[in-house]
Amino acid sequence: MNDKVRQVSERSLENLKLGARSRSKGKVRHNYLIMPTTAKWLKDSGNASEAIDSLVEAAKDNSLVSSHTHDRKKGQQGLTISSYTHDGYEQKIKDLQISLEETYLELTKVRAANKQLQANLSKAVSILTTTLTMPANNASPIKAVIRAAIELIKPT
């Protein structure tokens, strides 16, 4: 597949050789939906193909330099987070981290309380289930078991 010769039509090849300027010299097209102020601005500002042509010419003349090859001045640094400390962002971040830790501790306490409530609830259910199997004439043990179940369920 790599030995195939890439073919380009004559017109495309000619357009590639001539560049954007020659292609833009063709038929002028008018769009009557554009507002007159926009049309005036477009006429005054030039077109993008001219800017591209000038960049291509500058690249051919080696007058364009890559952004990675520029030398930095001694006092110039890249953008870092520490350059924003004068605005108080660092202090805000520390405050938010402290708040996050406090919230996490509260969440841990709530989860532990939730687990304890779930355990108490399951104990109460098992106690009440055992009371259903007790004979009806033993009222005092049933009342004691129900009181124990209520103590487990009752909020503190």
Task: Label residue 149 exposed, middle or buried (CB < 10 Å: 0-12, 13-18, 19+).
Answer: buried
Instruction: Please state, for a pLDDT cut of 70, what percent of the chain lies above it.
Output: 48
Look at residue 141 and tell me if it is in a domain.
yes
Domain count, the chain: 2
Q: What is the pLDDT of residues 67-106, one digit of tens each?
A: 555 555 555 555 444 444 556 778 888 889 999 999 999 9
Element (H, E) at 112: helix 89-132
Q: How many residues does the chain have?
A: 156
Residue 8 contacts residue 16 (beta carbons within 8 Å): yes
Look at residue 70 and tell me if it is in a domain.
no
Q: Looking at the structure, tell me whether residues 49 and 110 fall in a common domain.
A: no
Q: Looking at the structure, tell me whether residues 98 and 156 fall in a common domain.
A: yes
Q: Looking at the structure, tell me whether residues 118 and 153 fall in a common domain.
A: yes
Residue 153 contacts residue 117 (beta carbons within 8 Å): no
How high is the pLDDT of residue 30? Answer: 47
Q: Report yes or no on whether pTM surpasses 0.85.
A: no
Query: Would the pLDDT of 1 be above 60?
Result: no
Distance CA 126, CA 134 (A): 13
Residue among 68, 60, 65, 72 at smallest CA distance from 19: 60
Look at residue 85 and tell me if it is in a domain.
no
Look at residue 40 and tell me if it is in a domain.
yes
Give the domain extent around 59: 9-64
Look at residue 154 and tell me if it is in a domain.
yes
Q: Looking at the structure, tell me whether residues 155 and 97 fall in a common domain.
A: yes
Task: Label residue 146 exposed, middle or buried (CB < 10 Å: 0-12, 13-18, 19+).
Answer: middle
Look at residue 3 and tell me if it is in a domain.
no
Q: Looking at the structure, tell me whether residues 102 and 138 fall in a common domain.
A: yes
